[in-house]
Structure 1
């Protein structure tokens, strides 16, 4: 599978609420580190993340990957991501943010997925109170600082 095919299958599986197809892109012991929900390890948990967690409070997902770079072991891509929020305070608003996807690849599968995203616009789109946005962003910052590979960049 080419890089472009992998990324298109990745995005399509999310948009189609197809957790199995999404999880099949990962190695058996693969880990997906979500900027909102944390880590999901193994194909069963990754599939559940798509089918249950993502769609619990959102619908109508759109995900596009741009300008991918890969050496066969690492894959990076800028992305745009949006969905329609079903949270009461969002009143059906379309929420959009962008970020960078970072994937470790092994034998043609994703062994590890991490992302860094500017999520603040999403919270504004959902009409979250400013105090709530500050609390959420503080938690996200703490989680980022806890990642060993990010520590030297945040020091």
Structure 2
């Protein structure tokens, strides 16, 4: 007999805990073998190996002390939506150790009790202000993120 699927609440807590604990393997195990994580900053990571590396390497390259909480999850068993708050302490020189925080909505496609794809819509601009990014740099990043989001065919029904 296989393992019973995790409850939505348990899966979301494991998701957040894995990021906070820099445990890419535990994070990647929440995804199906060929799952895809579409990160608002870094783009798409396909497959468990790349998803684990995203957490263990990419996330922690310029940040530390992550906090991630999911709120008010709603699911029909196939799609899961959850509002979230996310913060970290930046190690970028211009940030001077500032804590950046932003809110967003996670959109997950589920398959067999695991995540097949993860997408997010996030208001990242306040985090860039927290990090003391120049206004021109913030505008360039936010414009790029908007264009990338609109270009994703799977997101069109969510943006309509």
Q: Return the alpha-carbon distance in structure 2 between the equivalents of residues 5 and 153 of structure 1.
A: 25
| Residues in 2 aligned to 1:69 and 1:152: alpha-carbon distance in whole angstroms | 17
User: What is the aligned partner in structure 2 of residue 138 from structure 1?
Assistant: 143
* Aligned 1:118-129 pairs, distance under 5 A: 118-129=123-134
What is the CA-CA distance between 1:148 and the residue it aligns to? 1.3
**What does residue 73 of structure 2 align with?**
68
Query: Displacement, 1:154?
Result: 5.3
- Number of aligned residues: 155
Task: State the Cα RMSD in Å.
Answer: 1.1
1:114 to 110, 119, 126: 119
| Alignment partners' CA distance in 1, 2:114 and 2:107 | 13
| Structure 1 position 37 matched with structure 2 position 42 | yes
Question: Are residues 135 and 74 of structure 1, via their aligned partners in 2, closer, same or farther at CA, if it must alter by over 3 Å?
Answer: same
TM-score by length of 2: 0.94
Unpaired stretches in structure 1, ≥5 consecutive residues: none
Hey, which bits of structure 1, 4+ residues long, moved more than 4 A? 152-155
- Stretch moving more, 42-51 or 139-148: 139-148
Runs of 5+ unmatched residues, structure 2:
1-5
Q: Which whole-Å deviations, capped at 9, do the CAs of 1:106-135 have from their partners, x for residues lacking one?
A: 001100000000000010000000000001
* TM-score, scaled relative to structure 1: 0.97
Whole-angstrom CA distance in 1 between matches of 2:158 and 2:71? 24
Written as runs of structure 1 = structure 2, the 5 A alignment for 1:45-56 is: 45-56=50-61
